[in-house]
Structure 1
Amino acid sequence: MRTRDIPLKPMRSVDPDEDKKIGRSLSCYTRNMEVVWHGEFNRLCQHFFPHRWYLSPYLGRPLNYQWYTFTDCAKVRFLCKFCDHGWTSMKGRVVFNFQFNESSLTGIVFFRLFGQKCQRCTPETFEHAMWYPEEVIKVIGNLFNRIGQEYYGFYRPCVRVDRRPGKPQAKHNKECCQACAESKNMFPEWHDLHR
């Protein structure tokens, strides 16, 4: 039986205005962003009932061709653990790989967050991005709509590209960006997103 043949309760794509209200109410979770990532994912994916969807970080290489891939950008913050230099980037990157198993009626989403190197002390390691709650809500909403499009017959909704306000003080440094460095070989379609 195909996913689209299973009767489901009526669904809608994510309303951007609703997301903004929720983003403001979730600002208290900035210390524990895992709660925001999983909470928003579970809140939205409950609309896929009776199917169950799971979200898990993925640190390895991209998955094989049988997985759908969705890439999104957001404004994120970084803090160097060596020199305490802090900066924001409008090019924070997340990659989602997702797949639905029709025999178990479950879906899995692996996600990967990318870091940046400090431009002051240029260490060899990438710093982890600190995500703002409203940016997490935006990218999870975009992911929900993409899953709905691929498996549940959603029309092709617009991807939200708005970002938290800010004026970058410098241009994006591709040499210090993990997503840019890895995109050349693994994700050639990213080059359009980084212009």
Structure 2
Amino acid sequence: MVLNIGMWEQTFQELIQEEKPWVHWTLKLDGKLQLDYLAKGWKQYQQRAFGWFRCSSCQRSWASAQVQILCHMYCEHCMSQGQVRMRLFAQRCQKCSRSQYEMPEFFPDSTMRILNNLVQHILKTYHGGSRRKFKEMPVLLEVPLEGSHDMANCEACALGYCMQALESCVTKPSKSPLFYLKIGRSSPQIGDVLYVQNQARNQLSEAKQAKWDGSEGSGTCCCQDPLICVFILLFLFFIIVKCFSLE
């Protein structure tokens, strides 16, 4: 299962020439590629895959469905030849205190999925697409995985490339429907108005319940006075109209 880049390049060329026999592309590994740092005329493609790792210190092996793959592509002006540089991001053993980054290995099915996705992207980007309809193949789990992605020992996460690491940094929006009042948003949204309407319904329901409870008990309730209820409804109606007028 050791990665054989020569076999990868041969399979890669065969897949392209099945669709475009006159086209010649090369594939090389490049461990120095950086996300969004492209030479003039180059384009970028990313995907993730299911891969295996083995620690060179303790010989422990583990699987991951978050193996990040970065490709930079360049096609000559004549469109008959091009080149791809590929970086496979490594992972470290979580059991060893001073473990080094280990390169991923792939079973044949995962290798074909990676290369097929890359070839179809190249055909779509540079050669007018494929003769057959093709949708990017998703990651398939070769074995059941437990727990979440080990971002602390993922090279792509450490460099800020891993999508899961980026998603974990996104701040969740406030749950308050009237959050725009706190941050100075210029106009209310539909959810804000619905919130005020719900508040009005709740106030009316509470007023009716208080009146009902007051009629049964010996105490008095301020909501027994219908004028107070009318005043509350008019006040809430004014808030709704004010919200719409701000749009």
Change (3 A) 1:142 1:44: same
Change (3 A) 1:194 1:131: farther
Alignment RMSD: 2.5
User: Is 1:50–2:22 an aligned residue pair?
Assistant: yes
Kept in 1, the 8 Å contact 2:92–2:99? The answer is yes
Q: In the TM superposition, what is the alpha-carbon distance from 1:114 to its structure 2 partner?
A: 0.9
State the partner residue of 1:74.
49
Q: In the TM superposition, what is the alpha-carbon distance from 1:194 to its structure 2 partner?
A: 7.1
State the partner residue of 1:125.
100
Structure with greater contact order relative to length (CA < 8 Å, sep ≥ 6): 1
User: Is 1:170–2:150 an aligned residue pair?
Assistant: no
Higher strand content, 1 or 2: 1
**Counterpart-to-counterpart distance in 1, 2:75 and 2:8:** 20
Higher helix content, 1 or 2: 2
User: Identical aligned pairs, as a percentage?
Assistant: 22
Structure 1 ranges of 4+ moved more than 4 A: 191-195
State the partner residue of 1:61.
33
Kept in 2, the 8 Å contact 1:91–1:194? The answer is no
Q: In the TM superposition, what is the alpha-carbon distance from 1:64 to its structure 2 partner?
A: 2.9
State the partner residue of 1:41.
12
Structure 1 unmatched runs, 5+: 1-29
State the partner residue of 1:112.
87
Paired residue secondary structure (2:95): coil
Kept in 1, the 8 Å contact 2:33–2:87? The answer is no
Highest Rg: 1 or 2?
2
| Number of residue pairs matched by the alignment | 162
| 1:117-148 Cα distance to aligned partner (Å, 9 max, x none) | 10001325211111111111001100111001
| 1:21-77 Cα distance to aligned partner (Å, 9 max, x none) | xxxxxxxxx346334412320211213232211111112133336322111111111
Superposition TM-score, scaled by structure 2 size: 0.59
**Counterpart-to-counterpart distance in 2, 1:178 and 1:44:** 30
Superposition TM-score, scaled by structure 1 size: 0.73
- Aligned AA (1:180): C
